[in-house]
Structure 1
Amino acid sequence: MTELTEYAVEDVIKLVRRPIRPAAGETYREIGVRSFGKGIFHKDPVAAEAIAGKKVFRIQPGDLIFSNVFAWEGAVAIASEQERGMIGSHRFMTHQVNVKVADARYLLHYFYGGPGLNVVRSASPGSAGRNRTLGARTFATKQIHLPSVTEQRRIADKLDAAMGSIARVVQLKKESDALVQQHADSLLRSVDQVATLGSALRVDQDFVNVSSDEKYAVTGIYSFGKGLIKRPVIQGSETAYPRFARLRKGQVVMSKLNAWEGALAVVEESFSGTYVSPEYPVFSLNTETADPEYIGHLLAWPELWSRLTPRGSMVRRKRTTPATLLATEVPLPSLPEQRRIAERLTLARRVAEASARQVADLEVLRKGLLDAAFSGRL
C-alpha cells in the first residue's frame, strides 16, 4: 500500500487572485469550467464595457481552477496555454499548486473523481446547485492525503493517457452523430413530393375514463426525437385528468407543449397498452400512404420541429395543436421510396446507437479507473 501524507489543502494549493480593470476599447474572453472534470470552455469575446461592473480576474496557465458553485459535482480544471490572458469571474477560484508536494494533474483527478471530491463537498454547504457554494476559507483548512510527488506523477500519467483516449472516443461519437444527422437531412430534403401530415395521420379517439380505483402505466415523451419514456404506474386517484388515451403499436404521439423541440414519437410494441394524458394527442397512421418507420425518422427531423415552433414571445407556454401538426407540410414520397429512405436511416441510427452504448461503457470504465487510481490498484 502506498504511503500517504496528510496535508491541509492550503499547504498544497494556494488561492491566488489577479484582479483586472477592463480597459475601454479592449475585448476579453471569459472562461467557464465544466462539471465532472470535463475541462474548461471559452465564452464569446465581450467588450470591456459589458463587464465593467463585474469583478474579473486573470487566468494563468497551470492554475488549478474550481467553479465555486459547481465544485461539488467536479467542476475542476487546469488552465493551459490556451487560457493565457483570459479572465474568470469571482465564481472561479484560481489556485497555484505547491509543486514540492503535489502534481497538478494528479490533483485534478483527485478533486473531480477521487477522495478530494468529498473534501470539496464537505466545504460546500447547502442543498444543491447554486446553494452549494465552495467556501474558500473552509476548503483551505480541510485535510487531504497524498502519496509522494513521484507516485502522483506515475498515476497522473496513466490517468491522463486513459482519459485522453476516452475523450477522443466521445468526440468521435459527437462527430458521427453530426454525420448521421446530416445524412438524414440530405435524404429528406432531396424528396420532391410534399404533403401535409394530415394525409398520413388522423386524430385517434381511443380514450378510457379514469377510475380512482384502477392503476395506470403512464407514458411520456422525451424532447429532441429521443422517443417515449415509461413513467411510474399511478393510481387513478392521483391524477386530475378524467380520461387517458390508451396507446397501440404504430400510433403517433406528440406533446402539445414540447412538439416544437422534438417531443414526437411512433409507439413501439413495448409501450402498447400504456396511457397518456390529454396533453399528448394520439394519431393513427394511414399505412396506405405512410410507412411507420419512415414517419418515425420524419418525427426525429429537426426541420419538422422548426415548422412547429410557435412564433412570438413566451414560446415555452404555447402549445402545438393537433390541427397544426396535421397541416404541416413534410416530404412524403411514394411508399417504396419511403421504405428505401427509412432503411438507410435506420442503418445509420443503429450505428449511432451502438456507439452510444460504447460511450456508456467507457463512462463505467472511467469511474473504475478513478477508483483504482485512488485505492492503490493502478
Structure 2
Amino acid sequence: MNNTWPQVPLGDVIIERNQTLSAEEIAAGKIKIISKIGFNTGKIEFRPDHETRTKMIAIYPGDLVLSGINAAKGAIAIYNETEKFLAAATIHYGSYQVIKEKADIRFLWWLLRSNFFREILFKNLPGGIKTELKARRLLPIKIPLPPLAEQQRIVKKIGWLMGKIEEVRGLQVSNLNKSTVFILSFHFGLAQDRKVKMGEIFKLDELRIPVEAAKEYPQVGIKSFGGGLFSKLSIPGTATSYNYFNHLKAGMLVLSQVKGWEGAVAICPNELDGYFASPEYRTFSCKPEKCLPEYIRNIVITSWFAKKLQAATHGVGGRRERVRPEKFLEIEIPMPIVQKQYEAIKIFQSLNEISSIRLKIEKEIEALLPSILDKAFKGEL
C-alpha cells in the first residue's frame, strides 16, 4: 500500500441517500427497478416490470449503488448520470452520492470491486464478507485515498489497460468464431447429403452407482454454451438426496437435462474418467461403427448444435422443458461415415491444440485485471 495516501473513512467521500419511493410512484412507469448487478461487469440489470410489494429505495442518476448482500462479489455499479429518471431497488441495496470535490466515482467503483477492498472488508466486518453491507458498516471503513488528480490519472490508466485487454479478447473471440466456422463447414462437406438421427449413432448408456453413506463421490459440472465438463469437489454419500450417481467413462456424451437447451453438452475427457454426475446429467455412448467420440466432441460444443437442442424443447427460461433422452435421440444432424471421421480427427486435433493455447491465454487475461487493480490501489500503477 502507498503509505503517502491518507486513510479516509468512506463516510467522508460518499453520502447515503435515505429516500424511499412509494409503490404508486414506481407503478407510474418512469422509475426502473433494479433486478441485479453483475458480479463480473459491475453493471445494472433492470426488471421488465414496475410492480413491487416491498419498500424501495430511490437511486439518483450518478449514484454509486451497492448490493448489501453481494457487494464483496463485485455487485457494485454506477447509475448512469445521463439517465432522466430515478431508479429503485429493494432495501438490500444502498445508494450513495459521491462528493465530487473529494473522490472520482470511477476510482471508487474500481476500488470497491477489487480484491484489495475485499480484504479490507474481511478485516472490518464482524461476520467477514458474508455480513450484509449496510451504510452503518460501510461508511466507517477506511480506504487509501490519493488526491483527486491522482485518482483520475489511475482511472485513465486502468481504462487504457482495459482497452488493450478487450482488444486481445476480441481477437480471441474472432479466432474462436473462425475455428468454429471451419469445423462446421468441414463437417457439412464430409457429411454431404447424409443425415442421421442421434439415436442412430448414440445409445443411452448410464452406469448407475448406488450412493453409499460411507463413500466419497468426485463430481463434475457442465458449462453451458459448449464450455465443457469441469471437476468439482467430492461429496460424501451423506450429503446428497440422490439414490444414485451416473458413473462417467471417457468418450461418453454427457447432457444436462436442465440446461441442455443452452448447450450444456460435452464428451467426457480422459481426465474426468471415473468421476460421478448427478442423475440430471444423462450419459450416452457412441456406437463404434457409427460415431467416434474424438470427432463428435468438436460438433456438439458448437452454437449450431445448441440450436438443435433448443429446437427439441419448448418453453422459456426456467419453464423450458428438460432435454429428455428420447428428445435428444430424435435430433437429426448431417453426419459423415466413420471412415471420413477418422480422416478429419487429425485436423481437429491440430485445431484443439490451438484452442488449448487460446484457453491458456484467456486464463492469463482473466488474471490481469486483479493484478492491475492490486497495483493501482497500492500506488504502483
Fold shared, TM-score > 0.5 on shorter chain: yes
User: Using the alignment, how far apart are the partners of 2:211 and 2:70 within structure 1?
Assistant: 43
Q: Using the alignment, how far apart are the partners of 2:161 and 2:138 within structure 1? A: 29
Say whether 1:77 aligns with 2:81: no
- Please say if residues 122 and 128 of structure 2, whose CA atoms lie closer than 8 Å, have aligned partners that are also in contact: no
Structure 1 residue 285 corresponds to structure 2 residue 274: no
Q: Which residue in 1 is equivalent to 2:67?
A: 67
Shift of 1:302: 0.4
Shift of 1:196: 1.5
Amino acid at match of 1:196: K
* Aligned alpha-carbon RMSD (Å): 4.6
The 3 A distance-change label for structure 1 pair 138 and 325 is: closer
Q: Tell me how far 1:128 sits from its aligned partner.
A: 7.3
- C-alpha change, 1:87 and 1:181, in structure 2 (3 Å) is farther
Residues 1:358 and 2:361 are matched in the alignment:
yes
**One-letter code of the match for 1:305?**
L
| TM-aligned CA deviation for residue 361 of structure 1 | 0.9
The offset of 1:236, in angstroms, is 8.1
- Percent of counterpart pairs with the same letter? 26
- When the two structures are aligned, how many residues end up with a matched partner? 372
Q: TM-score, length-normalised on structure 2?
A: 0.72
3-state SS of 1:141 partner? coil
- Deviation of the 1:25 alpha carbon: 6.9
Tell me which amino acid in the other structure corresponds to 2:72.
Answer: W
- Deviating more after overlay: 139-148 vs 22-31: 22-31
Indicate if the aligned counterparts of 1:228 and 1:267 stay in contact, CA closer than 8 A. yes
Is residue 373 of structure 1 aligned with residue 376 of structure 2? yes
- Map 1:97-246 → 2, pairs under 5 A: 97-113=98-114, 115-118=116-119, 132-170=131-169, 173=172, 192-204=193-205, 221-232=222-233
Give the whole-Å Cα distance in 2 for the aligned partners of 1:208 and 1:119.
Answer: 46
Shift of 1:93: 3.2
Alignment of 1:260-279 (within 5 A): 260-274=261-275
- Corresponding residue of 2:9: 8
Alpha-carbon deviations, 1:299-343, whole Å to 9, x = none?
33202322443679985795723x443333222244466567777
* Structure 2: gaps of 5 or more residues: none
How far, CA to CA, are the matches of 1:319 and 1:261 in structure 2? 10
Aligned mates of 1:293, 1:150 — CA distance in 2:
57
Change (3 A) 1:211 1:193: same
Following TM superposition, by how much is the alpha carbon of 1:366 offset from its aligned partner in structure 2, in angstroms? 1.4
Q: What amino acid sits opposite 1:9 in the alignment?
A: L
Per-residue CA deviation, residues 154-191 of structure 1 (Å, 9 max, x unaligned), is 33332232233334544565566566667767777886
Cα distance, 1:127–1:5 mapped onto 2, change above 3 Å: closer
Structure 2 distance, partners of 1:254, 1:374, is 44
Task: Name the amino acid aligned to 1:43.
Answer: F
Matched-pair contact (CA < 8 Å) for 1:260–1:320: no
Cα gap change, 1:23 to 1:354, in 2 (>3 Å): same
User: TM-score scaled by structure 1?
Assistant: 0.73
Distance in 1 between residues matched to 2:37 and 2:180, nearest whole Å:
26
